[in-house]
Amino acid sequence: MLAEERLTRITNMVDEQGAVSVLQLMNALDASESTIRRDLRKLHKLGRVKKVHGGATRANSDYVLSDLPFAGRQELHMEAKRAIAAYAATLIRPNDFVFVDGGTTTECLVDAITETRATYLTNSLPHAQHLLAKGCHTLLPGGEIKPITEVLVGAETVNAIRRYHFTLGFWGTNGASLEPGFTTPEFSEAAVKQIALEHTVRRYVLCDSSKFSKISLITFADFNDATVITDRLPEGEGAYRSAGNVMEVEEQ
């Protein structure tokens, strides 16, 4: 494949999906990791994509229109996600009843969990399997499986979660903004996030720095409805620090 053709295909994939990982591009283009990373650096300099840790996103876009496949998102911003998750795991107490949302940052949280005496409910199939393997008391609601994110959604899921009252909960988000709040691209997933958050006492949104000032299609909570745990606030985003509910877990 000619270099210019490869650059065009990378740009098209990023435009269509919003964000792609290096691994996705390697598989789609049958190219080496070094080739893909070199192409991303070139496209970033040209302003055609925005290079991020583990992949690329659309250039100059504050809108997140769709979910990436779960496997693709696992490669993005992993160092930040692990730092956020490591801190979040320390908040779990032995007698907590914990809601764990689906997503790749909450997957890192599940990896970091050491408290096996708490009870966990998640609507994520991968998370439930991992928690069970750790020896945690684990609950799943009913509902329909959403293939792209591997979570349970729909009226049955919402009605099941409505019966519970969590002492602690952790959510992922596609966007975090002061006005629209926490946003996600899909209505049925937003409904599950919203009802779980409403039924939780101590609420934490796990949000790496790339999500700030991003807006997706549906608000599931106002910005002040939860404490935000992030790796760092982006430069020039002092308004978020002034909000008083943002915790940075890495030194600048």
Residue-by-residue pLDDT tens, the chain, 252 positions: 678 899 999 999 887 776 778 888 999 999 999 999 999 999 988 888 888 767 787 775 565 555 555 444 555 678 999 999 999 999 999 999 999 999 999 999 999 999 999 999 999 999 999 999 999 999 999 999 998 889 999 999 999 999 999 999 999 999 998 988 999 988 999 999 999 999 999 999 999 998 998 888 889 999 999 999 999 987 766 788 899 999 999 744
* Other beta carbons within 10 Å of 150: 17
Tell me the backbone φ, ψ of residue 177, rounded to 5 degrees.
Answer: -140, 150
pTM over cut 0.85: no
Domains plus CATH for the chain?
3-61 (1.10.10.10), 78-248 (3.40.50.1360)
- For 175-219, write each residue's pLDDT tens digit: 998 988 999 988 999 999 999 999 999 999 999 998 998 888 889
CA dihedral 111, 117, 118, 124 (to 10 degrees): 40
